[in-house]
């Protein structure tokens, strides 16, 4: 029998069995991902409900964006923070940054009475962690929010004084473009993108910027998006060919670049692909880890997403550490070399590229 009890601090009834099952599940998920620490701050006066998930500190202070969006439940917010922080550790490690991964998740209040007080309180929360976590812009926050946070802590980047651009999409797109160039050289033995056909899924911020990057180098583009206006902009500016969302998987092209939703590479979509290379900006493209092996078996070269979409993180980290834009661009461009090395190792060992990349990241996280 499931016991239902009255919560001691509320008039609401709480199903005790379900409550503990959810908490236990999140704890097991955190343990599975190799955390780390998880910190929570609630401030009734400002409405702040914040989670800072710090995945790993072995390589240095953890860095990751401050995301403020609406969540249906606090459990989903916790799960999001864990998943994203784990991925940030892998991004930092595979790109050899002296940082661990973290993510701050702010549960967006329905009504924010005082945005300045809200982010000042969050800044105090960051400062309480003593430099273990460095915060940055993410979905729902901007550079002006970082300026407010900076009133209460020095462990923040992406401020208006940092010399950074407000939108990291162009930097992310550069990293993806460099990976595409490496893949085209390795798989197609071509040292340019002239005439290479790239099918892009998503014409949003990064998808648009990637289309701009590859178009400038002579690539042909097929693109799709549910946003008709964004799609038309790419058609007009880059002479791209538009297609329906479901048709993108069957476009006969050289490169498929997923730049929208995650988990889009599954048994069905992989079997429909008519490309030689998959390289895009979307997070968590593989619906399951083993689908990387399926791509490998089909002879499709996969550029691991957490490696190639890290341009924004690289820039944020290098600017925070060195204040050197030139150095950040050098490291973003180095995604080419890292990707090419993984492609060679994958071929030599006959192992999927995602497994190679994950092993490199895990080894680096353990070695410090």
Instruction: For residue 142, give every residue at least 6 positions away whose Cβ sits within 8 Å of its Cβ, in sequence order, or none.
Output: 166
Identify which of 206, 187, 164 has the alpha carbon closest to the alpha carbon of residue 214: 206
CA within 13 Å, CB half, 207: 28
DSSP per residue over 308-346, as a string?
Answer: HT-HHHHHHHHHHHH--HHHHHHHHHTHHHHHHHHHHHH
Q: Is the dihedral of CA 302, 291, 92, 219 positive or negative?
A: positive
Identify which of 241, 273, 272 has the alpha carbon closest to the alpha carbon of residue 254: 273
Specify whether the CB–CB gap between 3 and 16 falls below 8 A. yes
CA distance 320 to 135: 10
Give strand pairing partners of 293: none
Strands (E), the chain: 4-6, 13-15, 37-43, 48-54, 62-69, 100-107, 133-137, 197-201, 220-224, 241-242, 255-258, 277-278, 301-302
End-to-end, the C-alpha distance of the chain in Å comes to 48
Pairing between β-strand 48-54 and β-strand 37-43 as defined by DSSP bridges: antiparallel
Provide the annotated active-site residues: 103
In this structure, what DSSP letter does residue 188 have? I
CA within 13 Å, CB half, 76: 7
């Amino acid at each position: 029998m499931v016991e239902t009890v009255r919560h001691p601090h509320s008039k609401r009834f709480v199903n005790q069995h379900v409550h503990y099952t959810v908490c236990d599940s999140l704890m097991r998920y955190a343990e599975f991902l190799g955390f780390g620490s998880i910190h929570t701050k609630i401030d009734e006066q400002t409405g702040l409900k914040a989670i800072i998930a710090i995945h790993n500190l072995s390589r240095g202070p953890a860095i990751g964006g401050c995301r403020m969006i609406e969540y249906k439940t606090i459990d989903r917010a916790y799960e999001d923070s864990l998943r994203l922080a784990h991925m940030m550790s892998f991004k930092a490690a595979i790109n050899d940054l002296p940082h661990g991964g973290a993510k701050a998740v702010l549960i967006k209040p329905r009504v924010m009475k005082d945005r300045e007080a809200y982010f000042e309180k969050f800044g105090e929360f960051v400062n309480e962690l003593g430099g273990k976590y460095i915060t940055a812009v993410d979905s729902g926050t901007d550079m002006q929010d970082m300026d407010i946070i900076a009133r209460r802590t020095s462990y923040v980047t992406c401020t208006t004084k940092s010399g950074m651009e407000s939108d990291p999409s162009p930097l992310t797109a550069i990293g993806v473009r460099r990976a595409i160039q490496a893949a085209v050289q390795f798989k197609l033995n071509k040292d340019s993108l002239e005439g290479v056909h790239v099918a892009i899924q998503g014409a949003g911020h990064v998808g648009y910027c990637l289309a701009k990057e590859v178009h400038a180098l002579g690539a042909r583009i097929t693109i799709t998006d549910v946003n008709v206006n964004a799609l038309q902009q790419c058609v007009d500016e880059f002479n791209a060919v538009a297609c329906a969302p479901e048709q993108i998987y069957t476009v006969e092209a050289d490169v498929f670049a997923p730049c929208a939703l995650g988990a889009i590479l599954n048994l069905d979509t992989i079997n429909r692909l008519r490309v030689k290379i998959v390289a895009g900006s979307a997070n968590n493209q593989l619906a399951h880890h083993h689908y990387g092996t399926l791509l490998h078996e089909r002879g499709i070269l996969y550029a691991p997403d957490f490696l190639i979409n890290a341009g924004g993180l690289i820039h944020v980290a290098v600017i925070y550490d060195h204040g050197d834009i030139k150095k950040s661009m050098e490291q973003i461009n180095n995604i080419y070399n890292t990707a090419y090395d993984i492609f060679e190792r994958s071929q030599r060992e006959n192992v999927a590229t995602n497994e190679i990349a994950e092993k490199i990241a895990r080894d680096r996280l353990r070695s410090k």
